[in-house]
Amino acid sequence: MKCVSHQQACQLFHNKFIVVLGDSIQRSVYKDIVVLLQKDKYLSVKQLKSKGEMTFEQDCLIEGGCLNPMNNGIEYKEVRQFQSAHHLVRFYFVTRIHSRYMQSILEDFRHGLKPDVVIVNSCVWDISRYNSSWITDYKENCNKFFDELSLSVPEETLVIWNLTMPLGERIKGGFLVPEIAHKAPQLRYDVIEANFYSGTLANSYGMDVLDLHFQFRFSLQHRTHDGVHWNALAHRRITSLLAQHTAQAWGVSCPLAVVEVLRADNSNYRCPLPSNYFSNTDSHQPKRHYNDYREEFYSDSLPSGFLNFEENNPRQQEPRHASARASRSSAQPQPHLPANRRQDKHADDRNSSNYRPPRHIEHQQYVMRSRHTRHHYAPYTHHRPRQHNHHGHYYY
């Protein structure tokens, strides 16, 4: 399996603030990102199964988890944060895509540090724990969430909506309390329907959609025995897809390669990355510079082309969103309306009770396309300490 390396991940997310929102699978997505930013190593089984622990791979528990009585209820909270000299990753456990708690999270974005990347999914709890007739509620909550998220983060923020991964025919897990056990056989079909609506809606809001259900439909051997969660290999694949998607959105070349990754017992999974992997053998090829940081971020004296993941004879790559928008505008002429009228029209359409998102979603190799170019920007305005705060406070 080809995957992103520790070196690539550190370069791609240098001086970036990543937020992960979602359930236990999204928590494992967060954990794999935290591990990869420190070393080429997979998550252990124990790390995948653990929840609410005080610390994980030098991160810290900010709120909830073992600080409160542990439970499998819809009010369970867990906020984690990993901070290094050049990376900040935060995770919020959520059981519903729109709620008072989600509104408080969005309030953090409005008044606190602005995230560069938001990776979000909420589905299985939404469609199983709140209402037997889940469709209407889930649609309304998704609309509310995407509306409020659009107002809470800058336009440059890359928002990636992960579609829910395939469920097994027989499932068990913390969310599946005895009161809803009868729903288990139907949930895998409900997830497909929920994915279709949420993915279409996210795309209509100009957000990015990573179709993990499609990507893992033939990789069910990596699903654990509970029929819901996935093993460490699957999560490294998810991280690689997210990294490659982010690189495409930012116009950075990020080729995957077979890399040396260690298990928890320090035994190898794959062969090492070639020593000349990042070298450019064509001396006449012009260097590309990742030069969109603000001035205060040049104090670390990064080497030229620090974020160029180059193979032999690399070619210049424009941001994927820009090319998609250009091709769409040339193929489909837009009506000649003033900009403010077009915006009002879209807002009226979304607020209408008969609104249905457009069905035309174009798949690329890894993702559904988005509507906007995502510009590089780094929100940190001062140097961060090399050690994170262990006292349970948010870093701003």
Where exactly are the structural domains of the chain?
Answer: 6-268
- The single-letter code of the amino acid at 229 is H
Instruction: Output the six-digit token pair for 200.
Output: 């279409």
Distance CA 38, CA 210 (A): 24
pLDDT at 374: 55
Q: Are 199 and 250 in contact (CB under 8 A)?
A: no
- Residue by residue, pLDDT tens for the chain (396 residues) are 688 999 999 999 999 999 999 999 999 999 999 999 999 999 999 999 999 999 999 999 999 999 999 988 899 999 999 999 999 999 999 999 999 999 999 999 999 999 999 999 999 999 988 887 899 999 999 999 999 999 999 999 999 999 999 999 888 876 777 677 777 788 999 999 999 999 999 999 999 999 999 999 999 999 999 999 999 999 999 999 999 999 999 998 878 777 767 765 555 444 333 333 333 333 333 333 333 333 333 333 333 443 444 433 334 444 544 444 444 344 444 444 444 444 454 455 555 545 444 444 344 454 444 444 555 544 443 344 444 444 444 444
| Helical (H) or strand (E) element with 105 | helix 100-111
Q: DSSP states of 148-183 as a string?
A: HHHHHS-TTSEEEEEPPPPPPSS---TT--GGGGGG
Q: State the burial class of residue 203 (Cβ atoms within 10 Å of its Cβ: 0-12, 13-18, 19+).
A: buried
Q: Are 43 and 35 in contact (CB under 8 A)?
A: yes
Distance CA 326, CA 192 (A): 31
Q: Maximum distance among all alpha carbons in the chain? A: 67
pLDDT at 321: 47
Distance CA 341, CA 347 (A): 10
pLDDT at 139: 94
Distance CA 245, CA 223 (A): 23
Q: Which homologous superfamily is 6-268 in?
A: SGNH hydrolase (3.40.50.1110)
Q: DSSP states of 302-323 as a string?
A: PPTTTT----SS------HHHH
pLDDT at 264: 56
pLDDT at 255: 80
The whole-model pTM stands at 0.71
Span between the terminal Cα atoms of the chain, in Å:
37
* Residue with the two structure tokens 């919020």: 92
